[in-house]
Amino acid sequence: MQSLAILLNNPNLPKPLLTIAQKVKDNERISLEEGVYLYEHAELGYLGVLANYIREKKHGDLTYFNRNFHLEPTNLCVYDCKFCSYSRLIKQKEEGWALTMEEMLAIVKKYDHEPVTEVHIVGGVLPQYDVEFYSTLFTAIKQHRPALHVKALTPVEYHYIFKKAKIDYATGMSLMKKAGLESIPGGGAEIFAEEIREQIAKDKCTADQWLAIHEEWHKLGMRSNATMLYGHIESFEHRIDHLDRLRMLQDKTGGFQTFIPLKFRNQHNQMSHIAEVSVIEDLRNYAISRIYLDNFDHIKAYWAMISRETAQMSLNFGVDDIDGTLDDTTKIYSMAGAEEQNPAMSTQELVNLIKQVGRKPIERDTLYHVVTDYTDVVFENEVKPQYYKLPVIN
């Protein structure tokens, strides 16, 4: 808070940056042009002060994580997104997997005695996984373990399966809700700008369709997340346009909980010739997202995608959530070249990661109800910092 006051009294700060800082202090929304200006001109230190001011105003030092596992039904996909390191085309099916209903339920049952609160289901798009298949899956999970929150699929899958079933989005989302779906993750948004989407994610649902499916879901009183894939061929204008479309829908429905910027990783995909952006750019992007999306409660960093150290740093740049324990159940990040090749962290490790940078670890459920406040919890086997007596020279 003090840092923002110092910044506002800095006589050398360029006028547009001073205006933006004043708006943040006054809780005023910044414009699209100001958003682009931040991307083009603002330094990391300045952005950190503003983003952290907003973060601490909303959440203080609280930093959220959850205990979850991923269920990835298949990595075979009818689409061919250029940035995707995960999927295999159906013609390469010997390199992929496609789980049966029984295999998926067996994965869920593996966690019967674990205190997980959420199953996150996401994968490729396959014709045989249709409305009926997913309805049966959601219902079976809820029957087996009613308290496990089912967060599943993205508008990419929903658009595909509803079209195949010849039903509209409103009907389709109601069916999913009845079957047991409780929230939608943020994937499939990529970059909304049509000229970029056409080049990197041709044929799958359009930006308008992505937004329309979330809108229908919100109309049912349900919550979802949103993402943005950044750091490839998009410009700063495209990023702000993306954030702006999300901000407008959020004004209308209020149904989004969390925004998650996703860094483009360049291993094993058709865009490997494009260099990845720096960690500095990652932090700038978190901060600008926090400043621009004034109507989103949470900004999340996927520790498994950006590394544990960058996740820790991001907590000073607007981020208040670092995702879940994962238990090595996702291949999405590792196949794209993320630092974490077998992403899994124990609760103790996650808690320590957050405490090490002076924040307060809060285990949440999917809807941000507090499960456990770990601020004062000391683990049994915790190794305390060691202090050594120094020799005293008289």
Cα–Cα distances (Å) from 286 to 39, 52, 261, in that order, read 11, 10, 7
87: contact with ligand SF4 by CB under 6 A = yes
The C-alpha angle 175, 181, 182, rounded to 5 degrees, equals 130
Dist CA 91 CA 71 (whole Å): 23
Q: How far is the CB of 44 from ligand SF4 (least distance, A)?
A: 30
81 versus 301: smaller Cβ distance to ligand SF4: 81
Let me know: does 142 contact 180? Beta carbons within 8 Å: yes
Dist CA 341 CA 325 (whole Å): 14
Considering only the stretches 9-17, 78-86, 309-317, 350-358, report the one whose residues sit in contact with ligand SF4 under the rule CB under 6 A: 78-86
Considering only the stretches 3-11, 34-42, 76-84, 166-174, report the one whose residues sit in contact with ligand SF4 under the rule CB under 6 A: 76-84
Q: Which of 23, 79, 337, 377 binds ligand SF4 (CB under 6 A)?
A: 79
For the window 171-210, what string marks contact with ligand SF4 as x by the rule CB under 6 A? ---------------------------------x------
81: contact with ligand SF4 by CB under 6 A = yes
Q: How far is the CB of 81 from ligand SF4 (least distance, A)?
A: 3
**Phi first, then psi: what are they for 262, rounded to 5°?**
-115, 120
Token pair of 318 as six digits: 């607007």
Task: Write out the binding residues for ligand SF4, residues 116-145 only, by CB under 6 A.
Answer: 124-125
Dist CA 211 CA 217 (whole Å): 10
The amino acid present at 271, given as its one-letter code, is M
97: contact with ligand SF4 by CB under 6 A = no
264 annotated as ligand-binding: no
Q: What string of DSSP letters covers 23-63?
A: HHHTT-PPPHHHHHHHHHH--HHHHHHHHHHHHHHHHTTEE
205 annotated as ligand-binding: no
Question: 3-state DSSP call for residue 3?
Answer: helix
DSSP 139: H
Q: How far is the CB of 124 from ligand SF4 (least distance, A)?
A: 4
262: contact with ligand SF4 by CB under 6 A = no
Give the HSE-up count for residue 241: Cα atoms under 13 Å, Cβ half-sphere: 15
Q: Which of 53, 64, 86, 264 binds ligand SF4 (CB under 6 A)?
A: 86
236: contact with ligand SF4 by CB under 6 A = no
Number of residues forming the site for ligand SF4 (CB under 6 A): 11
Contacts of 150 (CB under 8 A, 6+ apart): 119, 121, 138, 141, 142, 180, 181, 182, 183
Considering only the stretches 3-11, 80-88, 93-101, 317-325, report the one whose residues sit in contact with ligand SF4 under the rule CB under 6 A: 80-88
Question: 3-state DSSP call for residue 89?
Answer: strand
From the list 305, 233, 311, the residue with the least C-alpha distance to 85 is: 305
Considering only the stretches 81-89, 130-138, 288-296, 354-362, report the one whose residues sit in contact with ligand SF4 under the rule CB under 6 A: 81-89
Task: Return binding residues for [4Fe-4S] cluster.
Answer: 77, 81, 84
Task: Return binding residues.
Answer: 77, 81, 83-84, 190
Contact residues: ligand SF4, CB under 6 A: 77, 79-81, 84, 86-87, 124-125, 156, 204
